[in-house]
Structure 1
Amino acid sequence: MGLFTPKRPTPVAQRPVRPPWSLWADSFGRLATRALQVILVLIVVTGVIYAMIQLTLVIIPIMLALIIAAAFAPIMRWMRRKGVPSALATAAALLTILIVLGGVIWLIVNAVRDQLDELVSQATEGFDRVLEWVTTLPFAPTNEQITEARDAVIDFLTSAQFGSGALAGVGAAANFLTGLVLMIVMLFFFLKDGPRIWEFLLRPFEGESYARGKRIGGKTVETLGDYVRGTATVAFVDAVGIGLALWILQVPLALPLAVLVFLLAFIPLVGATLAGALATLVALVANDWVTALIVLGAVIVVNQLEGNFLQPVVMGRSLKLHALVILIALTIGTVLGGIVGAVLAVPITAVAWGITQVWDGDDQPARMFRQKRPETV
């Protein structure tokens, strides 16, 4: 009987049943978690950008008021230390700002208004001459390709996308006046109660979060103020240098070109290049090739002095951004806000980078932005 008795089957070890949430604990689960986090962040950022685009009539005046108030923050602190009443100090600063801005706008309008058509026509003629010279090169594109490229540039410059903002559209005048009034009102309150407003916004925070908020506020005002004052100084020096070169060479429209150099200098990298190209084209049409080459050399010298000497001294550490980051910020700002977006993109990016540098302390950047190893060339 024992010979034919069936053997009992050996029990098979059962795998333990894993809870469903454990699937997120392995490497693939962690990758999926990061992917979901990135998607959620992108959704939030997209929503914020969309809301800002819809509210440009409010956002842009507030940002301009904040930037101007940051530029005058040292003067306001000095007047407060001298015992000047807050209302009187604010009224004096606001009146000074309005007089300065009004005077600059008046000078720009009077310098450019009567000669704008001539400036555009001469620049266009100079561009056509350059295209004619390009067609003589052995590797030159065809006339059809040049025409298509030129039409594409003109269409982009005249499109609603490039000119979008408070100054475009049917209600341009009403939008401009509304934005101007809002900017003046917000500028008054930023000058008068800027520290108190920021302190009110920090009420929910305590301890390290409150200290971080104080550092962020101080760094924002410092970065914006240094950027505006430094950029205005650099733009003035560029305009004077290039304007003197045009006047000495007897290039017509020297004053409007100098004014455009000053305005375009507020757009880093791209603005100086556009201003130099415009001055060179006008010199080419009004004078000759030799004068155009001399103007181009003067523009290059002024830009080199600006980039290697004047900007580091005047702006200090307020704009420690790589050129690639500036170009990306300019592109995004132009697409989202037109010319105004291009002007505001770089200071906003500089503020964001400055905040990361004081996130964990006065001189202690956020953990992910700290330098982990020596940089190799």
Structure 2
Amino acid sequence: MPQLLHDLWARPQVRLPVYLLGLVLLFLLARRLSGVLLTVGGAYAIAYLINPALTWLERRGLARGWGVLLFTLALLGVSALLFWRLADQVLSFVNSLPALADLLTQLLDRALRHPSDVPGVEQLQARLAEYVQNRAAEIVSNIGPLLDRLLSSSPSLLADWLAWLGRIGLLLTLALYFALDYPRITTGLLKAFPREWQPGLARLSEDVSLSFGRAIRGLLLTGLGVGVLAALGLLLLGVPNPLALGLLTALSWLIPFVGIIIAVIPPLLLALPQGPLTLGLVAGLYFLLNQIGGNILGPMIMGRTTRLTPAALLVAVLVGLALGGALGAMLAGPAALLLHRWAVRYWLPSRAYQGQEEVPRAAQGGEAPGQEAEVLLPPSTVTPAAAPPSRRPR
């Protein structure tokens, strides 16, 4: 019976349906456990991101357990501080939206008050003014019902918030456990595969660590630095809600090129009541933040060797935005770096890229080129002239 199974398994027409059936069952199982897999994958990703900081603390004499405890306390403290401050500033920003809409309408009325002599421009200006006034009126009229709807649905909204907080708490708890035993978990995952696969999987893990992981860490740290600078700059300029706007800037920085454009819109709206000077200073501040983040903080944190050209990165962002929305745009840069590393490491040295070249037999055998005649000729064909002269004793 074992020999019969062995003979059947040796046939490709038997292995192929079994492999396909296994893939289908694996897909159905992963679809059924998608929530669990996302939680476990997110927790492992968080542990992977904070592992370099824990390793750095271990090298300086602090045990990994104490490092995880220090990270937990810092996370709880920063989260509590940001929650109370951000809640106040977000509510203030929402309450100021009707006044900002009215102010924007007044500014556009002033700009479009004088008609132009060019034919057709006057009608275009009138339509533009009417459109802006209608949209502003819709914003003002919808703010009240939206707030009433949110307040009326507070029990269900509170239940949803509690469910999300429970998921986030479970995710962070699992991430801390993963961070505590990260070296053993990584080794155990590698040993779960056959031994002949382990070297290849180790190389793939190294590629992901050096490109994808490093890019994500660098992007997060760069976004944090840009967000702190934005909050300080807006605080000095007297723009309301600088902490919330700084956090929005940090989150928007995760989307290359497009994020800084999204982040500058709310500060410009809040700077409208303070006059054109503050408006210009805010625009100049975000221009400087874009230059500092892209040319100073980014290269310092991520390293110049992990950067792509701006054109390649922009194409990757557009592809990621089309495939996965905002999340795809955030992951486009790291994915492009990983593909670039794989192309350099595996595709360029491959025979498919290099082409079929005729290799000398001596080179195939690993011998030096100068030893070809000696290796290929048998000992009987060596001429006497090539042999060393013999010395006879007198």
User: Please, what TM-score do these two structures have when normalized by structure 2?
Assistant: 0.60
Q: Distance in 1 between matches of 2:40 and 2:81?
A: 25
Check conservation: 2:226, 2:289, Cα contact below 8 A. yes
Q: Which amino acid aligns with 1:177?
A: G
Q: Distance in 1 between matches of 2:33 and 2:102?
A: 40
Q: Distance in 2 between matches of 1:200 and 1:261?
A: 37
Higher RCO (C-alpha under 8 Å, 6+ residues apart): 1
Q: Distance in 2 between matches of 1:300 and 1:369?
A: 44
Which protein is richer in helix relative to its size? 2
The alpha carbon displacement at 1:279 in A equals: 0.8
- Determine the structure 1 residue equivalent to 2:166: 177
Q: 2:289 aligns with which of 291, 299, 302?
A: 302
Q: 1:325 aligns with which of 306, 316, 324?
A: 316
Tell me how many residue pairs correspond in the alignment: 302
Percent identical among aligned pairs is 23
Unaligned runs of 5+ in 1: 1-43, 159-166, 335-341
The alpha carbon displacement at 1:327 in A equals: 3.7
The alpha carbon displacement at 1:280 in A equals: 1.1
The answer as to 2:342 corresponding to 1:356 is: no
Q: Which amino acid aligns with 1:307?
A: G
Check conservation: 1:123, 1:282, Cα contact below 8 A. no
Q: Distance in 1 between matches of 2:257 and 2:40?
A: 25
Q: Distance in 1 between matches of 2:335 and 2:42?
A: 17
- Determine the structure 2 residue equivalent to 1:276: 264
Q: Which amino acid aligns with 2:173?
A: I
Q: Which amino acid aligns with 2:182?
A: D
Q: Distance in 2 between matches of 1:269 and 1:49?
A: 38
Q: Distance in 1 between matches of 2:198 and 2:137?
A: 54
Unaligned runs of 5+ in 2: 1-22, 113-120, 147-155, 355-394
Change (3 A) 1:83 1:281: closer
Task: Provide Cα deviations, 1:266-297, integer angstroms capped at 9, x if missing partner.
Answer: 34333322221111110113x11221121111
Q: CA RMSD in A?
A: 4.5
The answer as to 2:249 corresponding to 1:256 is: no
Change (3 A) 1:246 1:172: closer
Change (3 A) 1:75 1:149: same
Q: Distance in 2 between matches of 1:177 and 1:50?
A: 24
Task: Provide Cα deviations, 1:95-131, integer angstroms capped at 9, x if missing partner.
Answer: 2332232222222212222232221233554355446
Bigger radius of gyration: 2
Q: Distance in 1 between matches of 2:53 and 2:268?
A: 39
Q: Distance in 1 between matches of 2:185 and 2:104?
A: 56
Task: Provide Cα deviations, 1:35-93, integer angstroms capped at 9, x if missing partner.
Answer: xxxxxxxxx9xx979967x7664344334323322222224445666787xxx51x223
**For 1:268, what is the secondary structure of its paired residue?**
coil
Q: Which amino acid aligns with 2:67?
A: A
Q: Distance in 1 between matches of 2:348 and 2:48?
A: 28
Check conservation: 2:252, 2:259, Cα contact below 8 A. yes
Change (3 A) 1:251 1:104: same
- Determine the structure 2 residue equivalent to 1:73: 51
- Determine the structure 1 residue equivalent to 2:67: 93
Spell out the pairing of 1:333-348 with structure 2 (5 A cutoff): 333-334=324-325, 342=326, 344-345=327-328, 348=331
The answer as to 2:80 corresponding to 1:106 is: yes
Check conservation: 1:318, 1:350, Cα contact below 8 A. no
- Determine the structure 1 residue equivalent to 2:182: 193
